[in-house]
Amino acid sequence: MTRAWLWCLSLILSAAQAEDRDPFQPPASRPQCQLPEKAGAREWRLQGTLSDQTHQAAYITGPGDGHYFLQVGEYLPGTAWKAESIHRGKVLFRNTPACDKPFWQLSLTRESPDEE
C-alpha cells in the first residue's frame, strides 16, 4: 500500500511541476540549442584556420573581445557547440541530435573596406 501511495504522490508532484504549453505550437527552443551567432551582442567570427598533416586549429573571436584557438573536439567557450571538423576557411560545429539544427558552420569572411 505504501508503494502505491508514494507512486501516486510522485505522479501528482511531477504533474504540478509540469509546464503548461500550447500543444499546437512548437516546443520552446532549448538554450543549449541556440545558435551561437544569436547568443551574444557580437557575432562569433572565424579569423583563420591552421592545419598540417595531423592537426587542425581555428582562430575565432567572440563576444567580449574573446580570442580562442580551437581544435577538433573542443567546445566553443560558453556553449554546447563542439568543433566537428576544421577545413580551410570553415569550421563545422555539432550540438546534440535533440536540437532542431544540430549543425552550425562558421566560415571565414572578409570585412568590406567600409566596415570598421
Chain mean pLDDT for the chain: 76
Is pLDDT larger for residue 52 or for residue 86? 86
- Give pLDDT, residue 98: 79
* Model-wide pTM > 0.75: no
Cell numbers found for residue 10: 510522485
Integer Cα distance of 26 and 6 in angstroms:
33
Cell numbers found for residue 85: 571538423
Cell numbers found for residue 44: 562569433
Cell numbers found for residue 65: 573581445
Q: Is the pLDDT of residue 73 over 90?
A: yes
- Give pLDDT, residue 116: 45
CB 67 within 8 A of CB 45: no
